[in-house]
Structure 1
Amino acid sequence: MKSKIRAFFGANRQYAVAGASNNPSKFGYKILNWYVLHALPVIPINPKEQEILGQPVVSNVSKIIDAIEKHQDLDSYKTSKVDGLSISFLTPPAITAKTLEEISKVDGYDKVIKGLWFQPGSYDQEVLDLAQKIGEFEKVVHEDECILVRGEEGLVAANL
């Protein structure tokens, strides 16, 4: 798992938080805040919010993948020059599965996605099987790994 955590991070990487929240008691807020505090380029994903922690929200992950794949900026985000996307999931397993299905329909997703971090509670066996089916399982961090606990280690391992 250590090599997957290291590979999740990159010097020229775009990050996204699926299930980002404006509620400070939710992990969708705490993990987005972790990225912000580490000055990592992060995009909150939430279909119901406009802004979280001063970051403009994107309604779905497809928009981000498409922008990166086409080397275009997305709103105020400089996605045109990144080397790929790593996503932290804080959604319930059923929503995580729908998001993976959405990802698999975007042309070039397999080149854009560099890491999928399934936070505790965001995945079940169906999600893991789906990640395998779409060819992304080798990029998955799971097994109850939390970025709030192991993220620092990943940043150090990636020389960030």
Structure 2
Amino acid sequence: MSMKTKIKSFFSVSRQYAVAGASNNPSKFGFKILSWYVSHDLPVIPINPNATEILDKEVVPSITNIIKAFTSSSSKVGESHDISGKDGLSVSFLTPPHITTSTLKEIASVPDYKSVIKGLWFQPGSYDQTVLDTAEEIGLSDLVVYEDECILVRGEEGLYSATANL
């Protein structure tokens, strides 16, 4: 699958998004990427174990909170994120590679995770060969956007191509 195809499949009109490594610090990409989702009115859940709210969005401490909500047919993640009607989860990673690797292992620890995860976007600096190998081991390598692709650069194109046929 080409990177362009993977970018297009990362997006969907009924997708839930999450940002692993979301940050309150405006100089960090964890803030800038979250801002991109917010500015495009996309449903996004920030993930950060050390924050409670970023850009007026309730933060969840772990990705497993989100996946378990999908697999338990709950319509809520935390107090304020409604996931009803969503076709799955696409995740942008802005964490250091060792955290990205452990997050991928967390994802794989949740039963039926493959039915929930629809895209993984490894932002520049969030991955190394171990991350790519782990994505392969857990059977999600076909969903991975990487190769120095940045959502701030390619996101508009992917979002447009995913929603253009409506």
| TM-score normalised over the length of structure 2 | 0.95
Percent of residue pairs bearing the same amino acid type: 63
SS in 1 for 2:118: strand
Aligned counterpart, 1:134: 138
> Would the aligned equivalents of 1:8 and 1:116 in 2 still touch at CA under 8 Å?
yes
Gaps of 5+ in 1: none
CA displacement 1:46-103 (0-9 Å, x = unmatched):
0000000000000000000010122211121111321100000000000000000000
Is the CA contact (8 Å cut-off) linking 1:71 and 1:81 kept in structure 2?
Answer: no
| One-letter amino acid matched to 1:50 | T
Is 2:69 the counterpart of 1:63? no
SS in 1 for 2:149: coil
Could you tell me how far apart the structure 2 residues matched to 1:53 and 1:35 are? Answer: 11
Task: Give the 4+ runs in structure 1 shifted more than 6 A.
Answer: none
The one-character-per-residue Cα deviations of 1:103-125 (angstroms, maximum 9, x if unpaired) are 00001100000000000000000
Residue 84 (1) aligns with residue 84 (2): no
What is the 5 A alignment of 1:42-53? 42-53=44-55
C-alpha displacement of 1:159: 1.3
How far apart, in 2, do the equivalents of 1:100 and 1:151 lie?
A: 22
Superposed CA offset, 1:107-158 (max 9, x none): 1100000000000000000000000000000000000000000000001110
2:83 aligned partner, one-letter code: T
Number of paired residues? 160
What secondary structure does 2:81 align onto? coil
Aligned match for 1:145, one of 127, 146, 149:
149
Q: CA offsets per residue over residues 6-28 of structure 1, 9 Å max, x none?
A: 00001110000000000000000
Q: Secondary structure at the match of 1:43?
A: strand
Stretch deviating more after TM superposition (142-151 or 72-81): 72-81
> 1:106 aligned to 101, 106, 110, which one?
110
Q: TM-score with structure 1 length normalisation?
A: 0.98
